[in-house]
A = this chain, B = another copy of it.
Amino acid sequence: MSAANLRARLRAEMTEEIKAVAKRHLATDGANLSLRAVARDLGMASSAVYRYFASRDELLTALIIDAYDAVGDAAERAAAGRETALEKWLAAGHAARDWAIANPHEWALIYGSPVPGYAAPRDTVDSATRIMLLLGAIIAEADRAGEIAERAPLTGRFAEELAAVAGAYLPHLTARVIADTIAAFFQICGAISFELFGQLNNTVEDDRRGFFEYQLRAAGRLAGLTG
């Protein structure tokens, strides 16, 4: 048993090592990750890497899951230490932005354009929805405390679809609040991506953190957070 475990442990360690080197390459060289270069850095033949990842896409998928989890972790930990819903909201948003600035290529991997023939496997969705659920939970908590502004209910077919999602993941939240929270999430991701991908150049150069916080507060108001 310990032998089998040893085998498995070595394999797991090697897998992690490949991922670590791949992340380093991602951070320096950009999005076109070269499996051969990773193998060279590890001092092994490129064909050996295929013992651990069936293809370059599979390695990328592993990195994508890690990235989703990392940004989700950062946001969750940042929000955990705060009292009010607004404080949690701001902390989570800043944590996501800080992580994105520290790991721009990984952010691009998950929130940029999907790589060519890449179809996100089911494995990724759990990790991907963590931030969405965190934001939803913050709003839901504020809602229970009566801190969410009253609004007219939604109309339209999409409202029914959203109500179904709400019932499954965030009961007690109305479709309207869900829709507005999604809108807020879009805005936050947009703010981070545009800043990261340089589309903000020549507009706001110095006080980008302040600008982001303003956007973050606007997003919070959009989601119903008062204050």
A215 B186 Cβ-Cβ under 8 A: yes
Q: A204-B158, A207-B156, A214-B156 are in contact. Are A186 and B194 (CB under 8 A)?
A: yes
A116 B158 Cβ-Cβ under 8 A: no
Q: In whole Å, how far is A216's beta carbon from the nearest beta carbon of chain B?
A: 10
- Select one of B109, B113, B158, B190 contacting A208, CB under 8 A: B158
Q: A120-B198, A191-B186 are in contact. Are A207 and B157 (CB under 8 A)?
A: yes
Chain B residues with Cβ below 8 Å from A29 are 116
Q: Does A112 touch B at the CB level, under 8 Å?
A: yes
Chain B residues with Cβ below 8 Å from A112 are 112-114
- Select one of B32, B114, B203 contacting A161, CB under 8 A: B203
Q: How far is the CA of A179 from the CA of B157 in the complex (A)?
A: 32
Q: How far is the CA of A222 from the CA of B118 in the complex (A)?
A: 33
Q: How far is the CA of A144 from the CA of B104 in the complex (A)?
A: 40
Q: Does A143 touch B at the CB level, under 8 Å?
A: no
Find the B residue at minimum CB distance from A119. Answer: B198
- Tally of chain A residues near chain B (CB < 8 A): 53
Q: Does A87 touch B at the CB level, under 8 Å?
A: no
A206 B158 Cβ-Cβ under 8 A: yes
Chain B residues with Cβ below 8 Å from A205 are 161
Q: Does A12 touch B at the CB level, under 8 Å?
A: no
- Select one of B108, B116, B183, B191 contacting A113, CB under 8 A: B108
Q: Does A8 touch B at the CB level, under 8 Å?
A: no
Find the B residue at minimum CB distance from A203. Answer: B165
Interface string of A171-199 (1 = CB under 8 A from B): 00000000110110111011101100111
Q: Does A65 touch B at the CB level, under 8 Å?
A: no
Find the B residue at minimum CB distance from A184. Answer: B187
Q: Does A128 touch B at the CB level, under 8 Å?
A: yes
Q: How far is the CA of A140 from the CA of B63 in the complex (A)?
A: 44
**A binding-site residues for B, Cβ under 8 Å:** 29-32, 108-109, 111-118, 120, 125, 128, 154, 156-158, 161-162, 165, 179-180, 182-183, 185-187, 189-191, 193-194, 197-199, 202-208, 210-211, 214-215, 218-219, 222
